[in-house]
Amino acid sequence: MSFAESYLGQLRAHVGSRPLLVIGVRVLIEDAEGRILILKRSDTGDWGLPAGSLELGESLMDAIHREAKEETNATLEDVQVFGLSSNPAVECYTYPNGDQIQNVSVLATARLAAGTVIGSNDGEADAFRFVAPEAIDKASFSPPEFPAFAYFRAWRETGQFQFV
């Protein structure tokens, strides 16, 4: 689905670039070696995670699967929600076109299903790679998405849901 067809795109047509609260998802997709799939965003050139906003009539779990499929062609297994991020210091963002958002992001992890061939289905990503979470460079990563790695590590270490 194009941005113009999406719920958020339709809202933008009415309200312009003013700040919007956006409910969304971010998913850390692991391969068999425990590396995380990251993608190079076509709009900013930053590396990021498969992520996006909820559509009307869609559950958060459906959004996790849809965004992974649209942005990376990934089929997911063993999806687990490990956190919820709503801290304005992290979640407020202005896109290159001037659109402003404050995210409320469900954070999930999943395994990449065997046989999945990674590639973009919607043009939002220019490149893909699997990297060890500790090797991800903050300077080249999408600012609101980078903290998800720390939340993921904390969840793995403590088993506690990350509510930030």
Determine contact, residues 19/62, Cβ cutoff 8 Å.
no
Mean pLDDT, range 93-120, rounded to an integer: 94
Rounded to an integer, the average pLDDT of 133-153 is: 94
Count Cβ atoms below 10 Å from residue 141 Cβ, excluding itself.
19
Q: Are 152 and 109 in contact (CB under 8 A)?
A: yes
Model confidence at 129, pLDDT cuts 50, 70, 90, reads very high
Q: Which pLDDT does position 3 carry in this prediction?
A: 86
Q: How far apart are CA 92 and CA 13, in angstroms?
A: 20
- Residue 100 confidence (pLDDT) above 90: yes
Domain ranges of the chain: 7-163
Q: What's the distance, CA 145 to chain centroid?
A: 7
What CATH number does the domain located at 7-163 have? 3.90.79.10
